Amino acid sequence: MPANLMHDSLSSRPSGDSVPADEDIRLAVLITYYNERGLLRDCLESIISQPKPPDEIIVYDDASAERADAYIPPGFRIRVVRGERNHGPGYGRNVLLGETDCEYVHFHDADDLFHADWCREVRLAIARRQPDIVLTEITSVRDGAIVSERVLGLDALERDRDLVRFGLRGSLLVPSTTFRRALALAIGGFRSREVLAQSEDFDFHIRLAAAARDYTVIDRPLIIQRLRLNSHSADMESCWTSAVRAIELLANTLPPQYRGDAADAAARVGSELYAIRSRSHAREAFRLSRRLGPARFRHRPRGYRVVARLLGPTAAEWVAATYRRMIPERVRRRYSG
């Protein structure tokens, strides 16, 4: 059954322990680490201090110079698996999938934190319906200041409950999901770094959503994502060019009804590449969009959409950039208002 046909939202339900957790359902937190040092300790302390913490916590050390085991808080059963050569987070997550036998798993980056209610809320969501996927909101911070209080915008799933479409719009992140381990294994886990240098998370979550029977939304920010300049996703050109490749791979496997959404996703990535002056890669993204399309250019205002349909998205990007350069922002704001 498609994921959008079975949906449950816990956003309006009480957060108390009114539904007992099923003791037979085991939950694992699987953390990928690469030289995050003390940030890993902060991450672990935010989860082990919770009432009824996960049944298993495993850290994959991706051949770090600063070994993960130096930052494990003493007195807790936290297992470290160390790789001898750096392969990237996707590879590490696949290793972690094989290291646990828990029914539900949650992947996490070593520099992100858990809200104090994360474990309780996720266990309750699993106990209520045992869904394939549990989604929670994320708050992002930089240097202690909030950048976005609700990164994912999970309220959009109340309007359109199609989780695949939601993912293609770029709205699923690793720490936002907890899911059945068997489902991740069934789709083959993460693609290797040789296939996708980055954007492997985007690709994985859309394939996961396409394979799921149902999902549950906890519409509360239960993860704190710490944004850093030297993180894995800081190389924006690599991120966006990998996203083009991911969309191409996904379009070959997703049901036909998602081709238009994939075309929109490619067009959106093309706009991002154009904005960082990676023009040749932007043209590749727009060609993919045209091949999958027609794209609707939902990410752009009406004027852009008209030019894109008449002259193509590259011309529309040039017109938009020229407009922004020639018309002062205060005038543009007044005109748009």
- The alpha carbon of residue 271 and the mean position of all alpha carbons in its chain are separated, in whole angstroms, by 20
Distance CA 137, CA 224 (A): 9
Distance CA 170, CA 271 (A): 14
Distance CA 332, CA 125 (A): 45
- Residue pLDDT, tens place only, 12-58: 344 444 444 456 799 999 999 999 999 999 999 999 999 899 999 99
Is residue 1 scored above 60 in pLDDT? no
Q: Which residue has the tokens 């290793």?
A: 95
- Residue pLDDT, tens place only, 180-236: 999 999 999 999 999 999 999 999 999 999 999 999 999 999 999 999 876 555 578
Q: Are 245 and 199 in contact (CB under 8 A)?
A: yes
251 sits in which H/E element: helix 236-251
- Residue pLDDT, tens place only, 66-108: 999 999 999 889 999 999 999 999 999 999 999 999 999 999 9
pLDDT computed for residue 168 by the predictor = 95
Distance CA 154, CA 150 (A): 8
Q: Which residue has the tokens 């937190």?
A: 29
291 sits in which H/E element: helix 279-292
Burial letters 226-264, b for 16+ CB under 10 A, else e: bbeeeebeeeeeebbbbbbbbbbbbbeebeeebebbbbb
* Sequence-ordered strand ranges (E) for the chain: 7-9, 27-33, 56-61, 79-82, 104-109, 113-114, 133-142, 145-148, 177-180, 215-226
Q: What is the pTM of this model?
A: 0.88
Residue 299: pLDDT band by 50, 70, 90 thresholds? confident
pLDDT computed for residue 22 by the predictor = 56
Domain layout of the chain by residue ranges: 3-226, 236-326
**Phi and psi based region of residue 188 (left: phi greater than 0; alpha: psi -120 to 50; beta: remaining):** left
What are the tokens at 165?
Answer: 């479409």
Domain 3-226 CATH assignment equals 3.90.550.10: yes
Pick from 254, 281, 257: nearest CA to 270: 281
**Other beta carbons less than 10 A from residue 275's beta carbon:** 14
Distance CA 315, CA 321 (A): 10
Question: Average pLDDT, whole number, for the chain?
Answer: 90
- Residue pLDDT, tens place only, 161-176: 999 999 998 879 999 9
Distance CA 312, CA 316 (A): 6
152 sits in which H/E element: none
Distance CA 239, CA 241 (A): 6
Q: Which residue has the tokens 């238009």?
A: 260
Pick from 292, 297, 291, 282: nearest CA to 258: 292
Is residue 132 scored above 50 in pLDDT? yes
* CA distance to 23, 33, 91, 135, 191, per residue, from 37 (Å): 33, 9, 20, 28, 26
Q: Which residue type, as a one-letter code, is found at position 215?
A: Y
Q: Which residue has the tokens 């083959």?
A: 188
pLDDT computed for residue 228 by the predictor = 82
Burial letters 100-125, b for 16+ CB under 10 A, else e: bebbbbbbbbbbbbbbebbbbbbbbb
pLDDT computed for residue 13 by the predictor = 43
